[in-house]
Amino acid sequence: MSFIIIYAKYLYKIPNLFIRTVAELIPVKRKRQNFRNKLFKAHIKYFYKKLSVTTLSKKIVICRPHGGFNDMLVRIEKCYEYAKLHDRVLYVDTSRSGFLDDFDKYFIAPKGVFLNLAPLLFLSQNISKSDYEKLKIIINSPFDTEAVFDFSKDYDDQILIYEKSGGGDKSILMFEKLSLKDDVKSYIRNIIDSLGEYDALHVRNSDYKTDYKKFFAEISNKLDKKITLCTDSHECQVYAKELWGDRLEIVANAPNIKGKPLHNNKKLDRFQTNMNALTDLFVLACSKNLYFTTMKKGWISGFGNLAKSLHERQDLIYRLLYQ
């Protein structure tokens, strides 16, 4: 496969969209999948390296996280710490993540962080015309595959691209640095205040399956009079309504999309879907008692783990919703 790397060094001379088209013509079969992926990754590595923007006043990290909400925060936190350490400005593009929307519609970022790539193009008055064209190529790049760099190194390159999925438990660290937009804050706070005291359940039952009927039976005697259920599963929500009746408070109805996950679903109203997800997160975190279903080997979903971490940080909840 070494010829791929040699060939990739010259790919930057060919239009980006053309290279993607050529790579996509390679049939997606097991024996050819690695070849196809290596071609994409090699092209990203060399193409972006040749697009250094030399007239920017500060170096930049562009973070393009993939995955669900927890994964996004973990990836952004990783890039934030690197950018801070190496005196870089961080631009975050969550349009390729499970959110499928810009983060700045929901959150306010700390200094040195932009939750949208659009501000990069507003630098056009201060940089050369050729560098402006390079920025447009980077921002509008059709690539959505993995692009990483070594976080243990300091680079001379003006722009570093990080595009990756993957979860973990550091999402709460990024949450500490963000603030909610006023309209988002008011929407969530009003719902929390209207609920009063309650127990909350979290069930993930889309891409990961859960035996929620068994879970409900096991915890039913432990639950308070008022219950809320936060789930991505329409069938789970219907079953819970039949089981608990008026005791159950539903904050957001899960759409009936035949077991498919809510994130990465372009057919849904992304703003409302994301607002529902954020509301669910705080509903879980503000509950009196919090219960989760687990996946394989007792694993809690990333979203559930973030809710658990936030549940243990009432000071952070108060700052985000009431200050």
Pair 249, 228: CB distance under 8 Å: yes
Is pTM beyond 0.95? Reply is no
Q: Does the pLDDT value for residue 280 go beyond 80?
A: yes
Q: Does the pLDDT value for residue 231 go beyond 50?
A: yes
Paired tokens of 184: 């988002």
Segment 14-29 mean pLDDT: 50
Which range among 83-92, 115-124, 209-218 shows the weakest confidence by mean pLDDT?
A: 115-124
Q: Where are the alpha helices (H) located in the chain, listed in sequence order?
A: 2-8, 16-24, 30-49, 69-85, 118-121, 129-139, 171-175, 182-195, 212-219, 234-244, 270-285, 302-311, 314-322
* 166 and 59 both lie in a single domain: yes
CB count within 10 Å of CB 252 equals 17
**pLDDT of amino acid 34:** 61
Does the residue 44 lie in any domain?
A: no
* 145 and 216 both lie in a single domain: no
* 87 and 171 both lie in a single domain: yes
Does the residue 27 lie in any domain?
A: no
* 196 and 168 both lie in a single domain: no
Q: What would the pLDDT profile of 261-276 be if each residue is shown by its tens digit?
A: 666 667 778 899 999 9
Domain end point (choices 154, 175, 196): 175
Does the residue 156 lie in any domain?
A: yes
CA 198 to chain centre: 28
The parent domain of residue 315 ranges over: 182-322
Q: Of 234 and 18, which is predicted with more confidence?
A: 234
**pLDDT of amino acid 267:** 72
Q: What would the pLDDT profile of 29-68 be if each residue is shown by its tens digit?
A: 444 556 655 665 666 566 655 667 777 888 999 999 998 8
> Of 169, 162, 172, nearest to 97 (Cα)?
162
The top-scoring range by mean pLDDT among 95-109, 111-125, 145-159 is 95-109
* 170 and 192 both lie in a single domain: no
Pair 163, 192: CB distance under 8 Å: no
- CB-based burial, 7-30: b 16+ in 10 Å, e otherwise: ebeebbeeebeebbeebeeeeeee
**pLDDT of amino acid 4:** 40
What is the count of structural domains for the chain? 2
Q: What would the pLDDT profile of 102-120 be if each residue is shown by its tens digit?
A: 999 999 999 999 999 988 8
* 197 and 310 both lie in a single domain: yes
> For the range 136-144, what are the long-range contacts, defined as Cβ-Cβ under 8 Å and sequence gap of 24 or more?
137/16, 137/51, 138/48, 138/51, 138/62, 139/93, 141/16, 142/16, 142/17, 142/20, 143/16, 143/20, 143/40, 143/43, 143/44, 144/64, 144/66, 144/96
**pLDDT of amino acid 26:** 47
**pLDDT of amino acid 45:** 60
CATH number at residue 277: 3.40.50.11350
Residue with tokens 């219950």: 227
**pLDDT of amino acid 29:** 47
Between the alpha carbon of residue 134 and those of residues 40, 87, 89, 159, the distances in Å are 19, 22, 18, 11
Segment 141-154 mean pLDDT: 79
**pLDDT of amino acid 10:** 47
* Phi-psi label, residue 90: left if phi above 0, alpha if psi -120 to 50, beta otherwise: beta
